């Protein structure tokens, strides 16, 4: 029977290949949407690994998460250095990592921080930041580049970069008189770190020490680099800071204290809870994509059923010959169901090959343009369940032409009456 099914499809290979291609595209879309959804969640979750709290100016939890960790959007306000010191010195706090945002370099965000960033920041499965070349910054006008920044802009160690004021892709206000020297390039992480220019908090202060209300100084009031280095470069304000606690038991109590802080309005969020809020917000869109993908698969299977049904009229003589040599109605029905099953399985296999090939090719582009790292993980139990449902549905689609063929009489096509 298997040999007969294969030969029967081979005789109609044009139609069979188009049917397989249609099913493959629909399966690739369905599985691809699920793989991208999982990859996005994993990429977002890996960017906040090992952090207990994120503290910033009063605002929405999602807004704080997006601008502090993923460099998306802008902070509604800054928080003072004194407030940061209050919580940094809290006995329940093990470490803190301050962030200062607001500048850019060719569209890439500039992040002001301290050396604790390279010691405490974790991504993925609590992995440390590592250097491809160089070392962390140790002087005011030194910078460490993310892997994507260095690769895209072609920077090497000892190159100098000019930081622009503001976060746009182009800016007319540049700190041209205070260039930074590249002293380190980080290894790829698959997180927004790859698209970030890292400088010290003192470097941020040095760039803006003679600026007033976001405007550059007049030529006569401009300080030289030597004069800047002689000044006190302690930051007056930062954008946000990460918190690592001695024990997670204190997370809710410290969060409550931050949210009710009297000196200025602040917000503290639990990264996991904020991510869950983000997924809840995107759940409707995810469901919509799944429904659309499901209808595309259904359309592919209906196309297969239509091809089998329309081909029955052309195959009446073939069916009659099979009946005349001893094939019963059950054999004819089994032939058509087997053809539908084989077409479905071939479409599924081709679709899986296609989706993983596309993920392999698009992964560098997504990581470069969006900072999303999509792991090439094997299909999970849910994926196999979906593929099993598609296979069974393909068999069911084959039953309709099989029933029609079953009802055909021996007199249909070539028959001999005695």
Work out the pLDDT band at 328, boundaries 50, 70, 90. Answer: low
**What pLDDT does 215 receive?**
63
φ, ψ at 113 (rounded to 5°): -155, -165
Is pLDDT of 42 > 80?
no
Mean of all residue pLDDT scores within the chain = 83
Average pLDDT over residues 186-197: 88
Average pLDDT over residues 29-52: 80
Instruction: Return the DSSP state at 60.
Output: -
Residues in CB range of 312: below 8 A, 6 or more apart: 319, 401, 404, 405
C-alpha R_g of the chain: 31
Is pLDDT of 413 > 50?
no
**What pLDDT does 324 receive?**
62
Work out the pLDDT band at 44, boundaries 50, 70, 90. Answer: confident
CA dist., res. 57 & res. 388, Å (int) = 50
pLDDT tens for each residue of 253-265: 999 999 999 999 9
Strands (E) in 224-316, as ranges, are 237-238, 240-245, 266-269
Q: Name the residue with higher pLDDT: 204 or 216.
A: 204
Q: Which of 138-142, 183-187, 229-233, 390-394 has the lowest mean pLDDT?
A: 229-233
Element (H, E) at 93: strand 93-105
pLDDT tens for each residue of 51-67: 999 999 998 898 999 89
**What pLDDT does 418 receive?**
41
Work out the pLDDT band at 297, boundaries 50, 70, 90. Answer: confident
77, 57 Cβ separation under 8 angstroms? yes
Proportion of the chain above pLDDT 90, given as a percent:
35
| SS3 assignment, position 103 | strand
Work out the pLDDT band at 182, boundaries 50, 70, 90. Answer: very high
pTM: 0.72
Average pLDDT over residues 182-193: 90
Strands 196-200 and 108-113: parallel
Cα distances (angstroms) measured from residue 280 to each of 43, 182, 228, 286: 17, 41, 48, 10
**What pLDDT does 72 receive?**
84
């Amino acid at each position: 029977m298997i040999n007969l099914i294969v030969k029967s499809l081979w005789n109609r290979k044009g139609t069979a290949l188009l049917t397989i291609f249609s099913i493959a595209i629909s399966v690739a879309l369905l599985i691809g949407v699920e793989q991208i959804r999982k990859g996005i969640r994993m990429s977002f979750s890996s960017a906040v690994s090992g952090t207990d709290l994120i503290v910033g100016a009063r605002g929405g939890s999602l807004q704080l998460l997006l601008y502090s960790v993923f460099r998306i959007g802008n902070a509604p306000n800054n928080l003072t250095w004194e407030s940061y010191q209050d919580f940094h010195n809290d006995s329940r706090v093990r470490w803190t990592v301050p962030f200062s945002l607001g500048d850019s370099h060719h569209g890439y965000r500039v992040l002001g921080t301290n050396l604790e960033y390279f010691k405490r920041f974790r991504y993925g499965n609590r992995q440390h930041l590592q250097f491809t070349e160089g070392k962390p910054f140790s002087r005011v006008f030194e910078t460490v580049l993310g892997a994507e920044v260095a690769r895209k802009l072609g920077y090497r160690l000892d190159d100098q970069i000019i930081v622009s004021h503001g976060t746009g892709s182009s800016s007319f206000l540049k700190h041209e008189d205070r260039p930074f020297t590249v002293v380190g390039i980080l290894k790829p992480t698959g997180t927004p770190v790859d698209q970030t220019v890292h400088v010290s908090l003192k470097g941020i202060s040095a760039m803006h020490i003679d600026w007033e209300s976001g405007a550059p100084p007049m030529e006569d009031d401009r300080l030289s680099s030597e004069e800047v280095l002689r000044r006190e470069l302690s930051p007056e304000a930062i954008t946000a800071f990460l918190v690592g606690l001695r024990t997670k038991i204190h997370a809710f109590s410290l969060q409550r204290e931050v949210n009710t802080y009297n000196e200025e309005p602040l917000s503290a969020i639990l990264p996991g809870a904020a991510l869950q809020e983000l997924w809840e917000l995107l759940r409707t869109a995810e469901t919509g994509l799944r429904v659309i993908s499901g209808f595309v698969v259904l359309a592919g299977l209906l196309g297969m059923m239509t091809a089998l049904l329309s081909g029955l009229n052309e195959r009446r003589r073939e069916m009659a010959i099979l009946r005349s040599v001893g094939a019963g109605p059950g054999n004819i029905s089994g032939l058509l169901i087997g053809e539908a099953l084989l077409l479905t399985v071939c479409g599924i296999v081709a679709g899986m090959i296609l989706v993983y090939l596309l993920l392999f090719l698009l992964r560098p582009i997504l990581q470069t343009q969006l900072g999303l790292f999509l792991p090439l993980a094997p299909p999970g139990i849910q994926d196999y369940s979906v593929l099993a449902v598609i296979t069974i549905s393909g068999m069911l689609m084959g039953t309709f032409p099989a029933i029609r063929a079953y009802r055909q009489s021996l007199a249909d096509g070539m028959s001999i009456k005695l």
